[in-house]
């Protein structure tokens, strides 16, 4: 039995992972056995109607027929008790699917991570495969619930240990010893990642919202996040903790488009093209450059907090060949279609040409311009000429080819950080998924 659910939280309270944490304990008590860690699946972060973080949950269990009804009731009850129903755009949904995950449901999950899916598609699949859906209010969480069931995380995946706060502490500041996080990072990185921001030294494992999460530690395997959790010293007591298997830090959302004309709004993409003109800095310090190929053009934006990535974008000049990674924002009255950059790969640097005034033919000093179309003159020997032209000089590029990733503090959940390159897990054989019992 696969239990998927989504859209239970709101910006002011709750967290869908917490409902999963409660259910793990409850279903275990009822006699269900777990086929996998609870799955936390991040869906396309660029859809405008997403929930915070756009994370959907799936529990994969095996159980006897006689307790199935009780399990279903427990899940519905847990959502009813913990979802923020009074928040306008919180529309919880639960999906129960039985026996195996059909390929069409897997494809649906993939599409929900990389693109935009419709409620009607989810409902059609639920009907076709005799799944059961429970929707509250508009029930849009059914979409994420089905997508989480479909994403079986057979390709690259990571783990996150989430520790939860006691209810009485949830409105106050999180209290963990920062030095212990630094120590944990030193001890366990790169088996864990994104613990501390290298540019600002800020601790990244604690969220700041009013949700029940005290901290989340991300890593390559369950053992690493468990060990890291034991090193972190919390000054408030931890209610419970759970290890999730996730698509965090895998770039699962990005897909390569074959041309710029193919870009669709709200899709996370990788687009290749040539920089059309040098980057420009706009109000707020954001850096924008235009990328072009034979089919069209798109603006690429590196926003202020993106640190190193922005510094690199600023140095691009016309002719540079790059790949832009990020979410596509539709055109509006103020800007054209734009990729909000998560990463930038520089493939080839164009020569950077700067025009200098010519040297004085008489004394050798660099001449100066007398104004547009007025020719040049030598300040030292007073030689003048209206015929001498500017000379093109190639400057050295203060830039290298390679990949730039936005700073950990501004990375999306799905963004693969630099430290994970080369650590991707190989695809799991199909058979292993169905037979997999986690330790
Ligand atoms: Zn001169």
Q: What is the pLDDT of residues 156-199, one digit of tens each?
A: 999 999 999 999 998 899 999 999 999 999 999 999 999 999 88
Q: Which residues surround ligand 1, an ion (CB under 5 A)?
A: 360, 362-363, 378, 380-381, 383
CA 407 – ligand 1 centroid, Å: 51
Residue 306 confidence class, pLDDT cut points 50, 70, 90? low
Q: How far is it, in rounded angstroms, from Cα 122 to Cα 6?
A: 13
What is the per-residue pLDDT across 430-439, written as a single tens digit (0 to 9) for each? 555 545 544 4
Rounded average pLDDT over 23-27: 96
CA 394 – ligand 1 centroid, Å: 24
Residue 50 confidence class, pLDDT cut points 50, 70, 90? low
Contact criterion met (CB below 8 Å) for 40 and 160: yes
CA 376 – ligand 1 centroid, Å: 11
Q: How far is it, in rounded angstroms, from Cα 83 to Cα 144?
A: 15
Which run of H or E residues covers position 391? Answer: strand 391-395
CA 393 – ligand 1 centroid, Å: 20
**Looking at per-residue confidence, does 47 or 436 come out higher?**
47
Give the model's pLDDT for residue 438: 47
CA 360 – ligand 1 centroid, Å: 5
Give the model's pLDDT for residue 439: 43
Contact criterion met (CB below 8 Å) for 304 and 284: yes
What percent of the chain has a predicted confidence (pLDDT) above 90?
70
CA 417 – ligand 1 centroid, Å: 56
Ramachandran angles phi, psi of 80, nearest 5°: -60, -40
pTM value?
Answer: 0.89
Residue 2 confidence class, pLDDT cut points 50, 70, 90? very high
Q: How far is it, in rounded angstroms, from Cα 310 to Cα 410?
A: 12
CA 359 – ligand 1 centroid, Å: 8
CA 363 – ligand 1 centroid, Å: 4
CA 370 – ligand 1 centroid, Å: 14
């Amino acid at each position: 039995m696969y239990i998927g659910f989504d859209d239970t939280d709101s910006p002011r309270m709750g967290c869908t992972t917490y409902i999963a944490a409660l259910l793990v304990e409850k279903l275990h008590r009822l006699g269900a056995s777990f086929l996998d860690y609870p799955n936390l699946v991040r869906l396309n972060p660029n859809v405008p109607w997403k929930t915070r973080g756009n994370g959907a949950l799936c529990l994969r269990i095996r159980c006897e027929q006689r307790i199935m009804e009780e399990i279903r009731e427990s899940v519905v009850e847990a959502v009813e008790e913990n979802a923020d129903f009074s928040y306008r755009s919180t529309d919880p949904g639960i999906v129960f699917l039985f026996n195996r995950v059909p390929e069409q449901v897997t494809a649906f999950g993939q599409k929900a991570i990389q693109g935009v899916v419709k409620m009607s598609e989810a409902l059609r699949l639920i009907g076709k495969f005799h799944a059961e859906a429970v929707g509250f209010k508009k029930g849009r969480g059914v979409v994420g619930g089905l997508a989480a069931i479909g994403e079986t995380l057979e390709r690259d995946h990571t783990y996150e240990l989430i520790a939860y706060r006691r209810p009485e502490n949830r409105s106050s500041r999180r209290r963990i010893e920062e030095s212990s996080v630094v120590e944990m990072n030193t001890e366990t990185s790169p088996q864990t990642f994104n613990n501390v921001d290298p540019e600002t030294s800020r601790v990244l494992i604690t969220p700041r919202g009013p949700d029940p999460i005290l901290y989340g530690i991300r890593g390559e395997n369950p053992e690493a996040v468990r060990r890291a959790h034991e090193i972190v010293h919390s000054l408030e007591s931890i209610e419970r903790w759970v290890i999730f298997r996730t698509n965090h830090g895998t770039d699962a959302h990005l897909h390569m488009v074959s041309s710029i004309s193919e870009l669709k709004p709200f899709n996370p993409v990788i687009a290749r093209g040539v920089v059309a003109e040098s980057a420009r800095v706009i109000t707020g310090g954001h850096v924008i450059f235009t990328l072009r190929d034979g089919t069209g053009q798109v603006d690429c934006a590196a926003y202020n907090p993106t640190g190193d990535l922005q510094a690199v974008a600023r140095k691009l000049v016309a002719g540079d060949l790059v790949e832009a990674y990020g979410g596509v924002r539709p055109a509006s009255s103020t800007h054209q279609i734009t990729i909000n950059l998560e990463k930038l790969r520089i493939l080839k640097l164009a020569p950077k040409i700067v025009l200098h005034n010519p040297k004085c033919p008489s004394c050798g000093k660099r001449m100066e311009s007398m104004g547009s179309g007025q020719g040049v003159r030598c300040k030292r020997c007073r030689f003048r000429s209206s015929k001498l032209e500017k000379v093109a000089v190639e400057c050295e590029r203060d830039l290298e080819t390679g990949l730039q990733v936005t700073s950990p503090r501004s990375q999306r959940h799905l963004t693969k950080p630099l430290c994970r390159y080369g650590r991707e897990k190989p695809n799991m054989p199909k058979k292993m998924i169905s037979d997999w019992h986690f330790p």
